[in-house]
Structure 1
């Protein structure tokens, strides 16, 4: 079962709980994921925002039977459980007033596991952003892997014409027919415009797909124009955790690919991680030094991923020259300019020594360090400007 959470976390919306004579009902969790607890059992809920899709599964059995008659007479009380910015759980009724401590204590005792699950899910989602930055290399394909061609256009996205409003006897009697006809005309016009856009997207997608499939067939002949088409496809299919722009060129002999890798800004790496505590989330601030080390790791891991995609998808290339840069303010002119901070020449023979079945045990910095490398760190672990390799350097 594959479940995918969104890369953005919103924890402030409340989680609704029902406490009534029939039992305790709870719906917990950040947007898109929740846990529901009630008399019939504990359920996990996953919704994908914006799609209308949802998934629901039972996690445990129902609550114990045999509640007292006095409890049966209890008036329903709706409780909203929220996770605040500082990680605290709070329990309030629908008017915003705090729930009596006795009810909160009972609720926590009866639903400890569900609350813990909610906090764990929230922590995972909050840490996803940082984990994505530090694990970009984990999706790297091995040399010789079969790179899939682009998928066919998603036909299920084709617009469906909305129903038109019928004109009834009383509509004509009271002069509403013309207004309804105009509304139906607008509905038809909007549908036709959406359908036209859909067909344009379909044609563009299928045209591009055909170009890539054709180019893939010509790769064994070391066809440089075909390699350029496939290289663009390979680099576009990487899901980057931050905006990462890539420029590339292929040598006339078709044996070397040069990459210019525009890294994200150094302050874009998440600096806070969440840890589950007792009835709360604890937020741990990463030090400035650790944040700088995280960025350095991202630079190595990004180069690792790009090299892997190219060696897997372009079987005739021998080397990849990757030069990474950041945009910084020049202290002399106060103008923003590109500064190259890492450059490496990676050859296929050395790359083939990597055990891709154990990517989790690989340190991208150690891997890139096996090859010619230009990189310089100051005492605070900040990447310094370097002179990048040229593609001609790879011919030596």
Structure 2
């Protein structure tokens, strides 16, 4: 049985910044996130009257030449400590584009003013964003740090229904004009009726989604607290659920097969090859408003690949022994695909009683490679982290 997880690292082009008082967030896919910036700092999703393009739209370029230019207006505005809402996007080459809130371009003179007064703020935001994106590389080598201890009982936890109840809009007021002119009153009445209808329909959908959510939770509760002790299909469903719940930093293909009595399970992990592994770091060079990308060195990438390959197996073993009480032993193997076929990097046999003896208090300080020493495994790896093919263990090896 197999299934595919889509947990891909997607780093630039099209990276976006979402900046607020609490820090910098990252979203991928949609180009251009709202940034509000001023001499006193950054504020997320903030458009104040008289700022951004609404401010610029008030500048009449056809007025007398004696009037200050738009750039001069903007300079005075920012010097006064006001905020300016702009949109920032980073192109595939790392160059930064600064636009108005509606996507309209600033003139060269206006951009010069923005860079002068908001440059440090934007640069700090870009640097913070680079730190977030670079942290994905650290997650690759630290995937084992989320590993769970063993448990002999179900660890089902209900998921809350987080969708907020639709708010009811306040009825539109008739106003004085509505009382003295019947057509206006009818129009307001129709609009209020439409708002009421839309709220009723939204509430109906919300109640339906809420009911469906709790029905699914009841099924999941039964699956995890009762069915897993009686059915391999239930074990497989629970294993799939929690494997998909792991935030895999790279796309991962996993195959698994239970033994005849459900006390054993074999896992195969399809890993990317080392040269397919993420190896890009991002930084803001000097005082420039741009992001540059560079490859990490081979030694560092190989170390991250080695740690991820071992850490993935440990993470899966912890999931099995924490959420599948009937399973006492698992054999986990990792392989890569090549033109010559599947090439196995290692196989490890992990037993529940061995897992229960581990000191998880020291887990985060331990390297994934050394943690394999607690178990039976086959692996041919050089001191520098280069894997050589091995013959994988199988369920027969557990007897």
Matches within 5 A, 1:66-145: 74-76=72-74, 83-87=90-94, 95-99=105-109, 103=113, 106-107=116-117, 112=120, 114-144=121-151
Counterpart for residue 41 of structure 2: 42
Show CA shifts across 1:353-395 (max 9, x none): 4332233311111112442222335899554432210112122
Match of 1:284 among 266, 284, 294: 294
Counterpart position of 1:208: 220
Q: For 1:261-293, what per-residue CA distance to the aligned partner results, in whole angstroms no more than 9, with x for missing partners?
A: 233465553220123542344433124564444
* Aligned with residue 319 of structure 1, among 329, 332, 336: 329
Do the aligned partners of 1:16 and 1:80 also contact (CA within 8 Å) in 2? no
Q: Equivalent of 1:359, from 347, 354, 363?
A: 363
Q: Is the 8 A contact 2:152 2:325 kept in 1?
A: no
TM-score by length of 1: 0.63
Instruction: Report deviation, 1:15.
Output: 7.8
- 1:318–1:208 Cα change, 3 Å: closer
Are the equivalent residues in 1 in contact too, given 2:334–2:345 (CA < 8 A)? yes
In 2, are the aligned partners of 1:14 and 1:80 still within 8 Å (CA)? no
RMSD over aligned Cα, in angstroms? Answer: 5.2
46 and 143 in structure 1: CA distance in 2 versus 1, 3 angstrom threshold:
farther
Q: Distance in 2 between matches of 1:16 and 1:211?
A: 40
Unmatched segments (≥5 aa) in structure 1 = 1-5, 18-25, 48-69, 164-168, 332-336
Does the aligned pair in 1 maintain the 2:337–2:343 contact within 8 Å? yes
- Pairing 1:241–2:249 present: yes
Alpha-carbon distance change, 275 to 232 in structure 1, aligned in 2, over 3 angstroms = same
> What is the alpha-carbon distance in structure 2 between the residues aligned to residue 36 and residue 299 of structure 1?
42
What does 1:132-281 align with in structure 2 at a 5 Å threshold? 132-144=139-151, 148-152=155-159, 154=161, 156=163, 203-215=215-227, 218=229, 227-228=235-236, 230-264=238-272, 266-280=274-288, 281=291
C-alpha deviation, 1:303, in angstroms: 0.3
Greater RCO, 1 or 2 (C-alpha within 8 Å, sep 6+) = 2
* SS across alignment from 1:156: coil
Evaluate the alpha carbon distance shift between residue 157 and residue 265 of structure 1 in structure 2; reply closer, same or farther with a 3 A threshold: farther
- 1:86/1:234 Cα in 2 relative to 1: closer, same or farther (>3 Å)? closer
1:388 aligns to what SS in structure 2? Answer: coil
CA deviation after TM superposition for structure 1 residue 185, in Å: 11
Q: Distance in 2 between matches of 1:255 and 1:80?
A: 56
Number of residues of Structure 1 aligned to a counterpart in Structure 2 = 341
Does the 8 Å CA contact 1:11/1:30 hold for their aligned counterparts?
Answer: no
* In structure 2, C-alpha distance between the alignment counterparts of 1:289 and 1:264, rounded to whole Å: 17
Output one character per residue of 1:316-344: Cα deviation in whole Å (capped at 9) or x when no partner. 5443211122332x34xxxxx44333211
Contact 1:339 1:385 in 2 (8 A): yes
SS at match of 2:251: coil
